[in-house]
Amino acid sequence: MDYAQTLLGFLPGGSRRTPGLKELLSAASAYLPEDQVERIRAAAEFGADAHRGQKRKTGEPYIAHPVAAAEILAGLRVDPDTIVAAILHDVIEDTPIAKTEIAARFGDSVAEIVDGVTKLDQIKFKSREEAQAESFRKMLLAMVRDLRVILVKLADRTHNMRTIEGMPAPRRRAIARETLDIYAPLAERLGLYNLKLELEDLGFRALYPQRYRVLERAMKRARGNQKEFLPKIAGQIRIGLENAGIEARVEAREKHLYSIYRKMTRKRTALADIIDVYGLRVIVDKADTCYRALGAVHSVYKPMPGRFKDYIAIPRVNGYQSLHTMLFGPSGVPIEVQIRTEDMHRVSESGIAAHWRYKAGESNPVTEQERAREWVTNLVAMQESGSSEEFLESVKVDLFPDKVYVFTPKGKILRLPRGATVVDFAYAVHTDVGNRCVAAKVDRRLSPLRTVLRNGQTVEVVTARGAIPNPSWVNFVVTAKARTAIRQYLKGLRRSDAIELGHRLVNQALAEFKLSLPDIDDAAMAATLGEFGMVDRDELFEKIGLGERLAPLVARRLLPAAADVVRAEGAAPAPLAVAGTEGLLVTYARCCFPVPGDPVLAFLSSGRGIVVHRETCANVEDYRKHPENWISVVWENTPGRMFSSELRVEVENRMGVLAAVAAAIAGTETNIDHVELQERDPQTSILVFELRVRDRKHLAGIVRVIRRMPEVLKVFRTLATRSRQD
């Protein structure tokens, strides 16, 4: 280890940007026993030897980076295994050292953390984005086993951001964007407030350097003004607390550039309106003192109505607790005050890391934080959502702080993102509740499932046996859990529908040769599956049902060798019956709204299955260029099935005409799904109604009723123009 000792002895150190081994050991010695400090030194020497000859973009020896990442964690006073893992976090990825060797030298716990952080560079991906997403998926799932994985990753990213100037500009911007989109919110979600603030400011500086410089100059000027006012305000609050017999520490709260920038962009507010708000923090001994301190503070300066938040009674999802209030200060200057205990303050600064603080004499210092564990275990369900990129987007949605707190009928509090709906609530209770929900009561009143929830509401979900998720829910749910569960259910349902539809299409194509699937021998089927590279019949039928394989072509491959000329003269494939049995894989075009009784044609669309159009639809002409994708269809007699249709009604432009026409339609026992008013000129208007009808005969009866109305000038069905697509 002579090389390693020499290298570590000359590491750059003494700066916050890249602390050296001396700073790391000093930080570790402040709370760890000597034997653990020596273990950290041994890990640094092992890492230096493993990374021998490797340099960073900045020109430093590579070992400087993991040592600096470890020093960040030592500042959080985490357990020694986490610090050792931080020193070795790139060894498996960048050197020939195997996981087994790390386990043998430093223990299984360290090896598992290092493996969780390691990227998937050895696997070939289609794109850099896919590789990043898959690496992120692996890291987050490793968190399910050990949350210390993310502590190491966040320390790694923090030091990379401190030294990012060594990267080329395009790469620098990409890393900064990823930091702001994923890692800073992730640090906040886990309560690592100090790391979150540093990652945000570093990411902001790298992504928008000019905006950063402008804000930095403005903040320096503002700090000069605050030096005059803050001591006076803090002094008044101290006196108020002392008069109430409350011992407290009052300190100024630093405003950070990225939070100011986000407020400016979100609220479209001038810079002066944001930086002229003073921030103070009051720290007391216990929770009930916080409420007494709140009263004392309000007696010094009047509170602003509607600006108080109690995060002690209802903590944030990352465990953060404080009382927040906004006061009218001297000359009306706004003052933001946070009131918390010492324990709350520690958790707010180091979050989940507080649960890995090393305590001498304890054999197992690792204690999971309940809320973080609950969120992380949900990642197991989320990762089934499909591709790595989709998983990453789902996690992004869940990373941002919760803003809405709602109650179950039994009084349990559920935390949901702002904009969450009743369906999001149902899935938050349990996936089965979400899948089977049919209605809901919000504050004891029946409400639509897409109702957006507000703070303090009580929600009761009504379920029904046999109910299934509605595909349209995906368009309005906001939580990753709800979106993932709906897609997973529909994916399974869609596959079974695709297999059934593919089976019918192949039978239809074989009928042209006076054959059906039972007539096809196993050898012909096996040869066809091998030719297409498919595992079994279900996969073949699924691809056909989804429009990814053409049934006539597959049918020809399935024919026995002697049957390829058996086609009867003038034989045409029997039309496919549609309506009532197609599930998700047959859709009716919204450009022409076909209903039973209309002459129709169907087009096989890749990934969508069959799309049915009226023969007179203008869009049919576009599809005639691909005759191999057309399918002959016929309406199936399915009583009770309802279809969408659209009527355009030209009326005299007078008061009450819309209500009169709608009443006439309702008199035919027809539901109106949607209505739109299109003004044509001062004398006439066009009303567009989307209706639910059984068939063409039902629709004709509605048209006759409307035509008899004196104020109606013309009634006609919607028919697509060349510009209107389905």
Write out pLDDT tens, residues 672-701. 888 888 777 778 889 999 998 988 999 999
Residue 5's pLDDT is what?
56
Terminal-to-terminal C-alpha distance of the chain:
70
- Distance (Å, whole) CA 664 – CA 684: 19
Residue 700's pLDDT is what?
93
Active-site annotation holds for 582: no
Band (348; pLDDT cuts 50, 70, 90): confident
pLDDT over threshold 80, residue 443:
yes
Residue 199's pLDDT is what?
93
Tell how far CA 409 is from the center of its chain: 27
Residue 561's pLDDT is what?
54
Residue 705's pLDDT is what?
93
pLDDT over threshold 60, residue 506:
yes
Residue 698's pLDDT is what?
92
Query: Strand 309-310 to strand 278-284: parallel, antiparallel, or no bridges (unpaired)?
Result: unpaired
Residue 365's pLDDT is what?
36
> Are the beta carbons of 244 and 292 closer than 8 angstroms?
yes
Residues above pLDDT 90, as percent of the chain = 19
Residue 564's pLDDT is what?
46
pLDDT over threshold 60, residue 398:
no
User: Tokens representing 528?
Assistant: 């066809």
Residue-wise burial string across 146-178, b where 16 or more C-beta atoms lie within 10 A, e elsewhere: bbbbbbbbbbbbbbbbbbbeebeeeebbbbbee
pLDDT winner (highest mean) among 15-24, 469-478, 706-715: 706-715
The pLDDT tens digits of the residues spanning 94-111 come to 888 888 999 999 998 899
pLDDT winner (highest mean) among 253-257, 347-351, 357-361: 253-257
Residue 56's pLDDT is what?
83
- 614-625: average pLDDT: 78
- 51-73: average pLDDT: 87
Indicate the helix (H) or strand (E) that contains 511.
Answer: helix 480-511
Which runs of consecutive H residues, i.e. helices, occur in 247-286?
Answer: 257-267, 271-275
Task: Pick the more confident residue, 269 or 74.
Answer: 74
Band (150; pLDDT cuts 50, 70, 90): confident
Band (651; pLDDT cuts 50, 70, 90): very high
Residue 168's pLDDT is what?
86
- Distance (Å, whole) CA 284 – CA 250: 9
Query: Strand 633-635 to strand 576-578: parallel, antiparallel, or no bridges (unpaired)?
Result: parallel
Residue 120's pLDDT is what?
40
Among 33, 26, 92, 68, residue whose Cα is nearest residue 152: 68
Distances 624 to 507, 604, 619, 632 between C-alpha atoms, Å = 24, 12, 9, 13
- For helices 388-399 and 480-511, the axis angle rounded to 10 degrees is 150
- For helices 108-117 and 148-162, the axis angle rounded to 10 degrees is 50
Residues above pLDDT 70, as percent of the chain = 76
Band (1; pLDDT cuts 50, 70, 90): very low
pLDDT over threshold 80, residue 179:
yes
pLDDT over threshold 80, residue 626:
no
Residue 137's pLDDT is what?
64
Residue-wise burial string across 376-408, b where 16 or more C-beta atoms lie within 10 A, e elsewhere: bebbeebbebeebbbbbebbeebbeebebbbee
Contacts of 544 (CB under 8 A, 6+ apart): 498, 501, 502, 505, 506, 550, 551, 554
> Are the beta carbons of 61 and 54 closer than 8 angstroms?
yes
> Are the beta carbons of 417 and 405 closer than 8 angstroms?
no
- Distance (Å, whole) CA 29 – CA 186: 29
Residue 656's pLDDT is what?
86
> Are the beta carbons of 651 and 715 closer than 8 angstroms?
no
Band (358; pLDDT cuts 50, 70, 90): low
pLDDT over threshold 50, residue 360:
no
The phi, psi pair for 617, rounded to 5°, reads: -65, 135
Band (294; pLDDT cuts 50, 70, 90): very high
Contacts of 408 (CB under 8 A, 6+ apart): 414, 429, 458, 459, 460
User: Tokens representing 145?
Assistant: 């086993």
Residue 205's pLDDT is what?
92
pLDDT over threshold 50, residue 359:
no
Which candidate in 93, 389, 538, 636 is catalytic? 93
- Distance (Å, whole) CA 106 – CA 642: 68
Look over the chain and give the mean of its residue pLDDT values, rounded to a whole number. Answer: 78
Indicate the helix (H) or strand (E) that contains 613.
Answer: strand 609-614
User: Tokens representing 403?
Assistant: 């803003």
Active-site annotation holds for 285: no
Strand order in the sheet with 684-693: 671-679, 684-693, 643-652, 712-717
> Are the beta carbons of 603 and 613 closer than 8 angstroms?
yes
Residue 4's pLDDT is what?
54
- Distance (Å, whole) CA 260 – CA 220: 13
Number of H helices, E strands in the chain: 29, 20
Band (715; pLDDT cuts 50, 70, 90): very high
Lowest mean pLDDT segment, chosen from 57-66, 513-522, 557-566, 664-673 = 557-566
Collapsed DSSP state (helix, strand, coil) of residue 683: coil
Which candidate in 60, 94, 650, 726 is catalytic? 94
Residue 701's pLDDT is what?
93
> Are the beta carbons of 249 and 341 closer than 8 angstroms?
no
> Are the beta carbons of 81 and 148 closer than 8 angstroms?
yes
- Distance (Å, whole) CA 93 – CA 104: 18
Residue 361's pLDDT is what?
42
pLDDT over threshold 90, residue 649:
yes
- Greatest Cα pair distance in the chain: 105
Domains identified in the chain and CATH numbers: 2-118+148-207 (1.10.3210.10), 211-354 (3.30.460.10), 414-478 (3.10.20.30), 488-635 (no CATH), 643-717 (3.30.70.260)
Angle at 589 between CA 651 and CA 715, to 5 degrees: 15
The 8 Å CB, 24+ separation contacts for 463-471 are 463/433, 463/436, 463/437, 463/438, 464/436, 464/438, 465/436, 466/436, 467/435, 467/436, 467/437, 467/438, 468/435, 468/436, 468/493, 469/434, 469/435, 471/584
Among 356, 351, 346, 429, residue whose Cα is nearest residue 186: 351
Lowest mean pLDDT segment, chosen from 86-100, 119-133, 391-405, 422-436 = 119-133
> Are the beta carbons of 148 and 82 closer than 8 angstroms?
yes
pLDDT winner (highest mean) among 227-236, 425-434, 557-566: 425-434
Among 643, 549, 557, 538, residue whose Cα is nearest residue 604: 549
The pLDDT tens digits of the residues spanning 553-596 come to 787 778 765 444 444 444 445 566 666 445 556 778 888 899 98
- 402-421: average pLDDT: 79
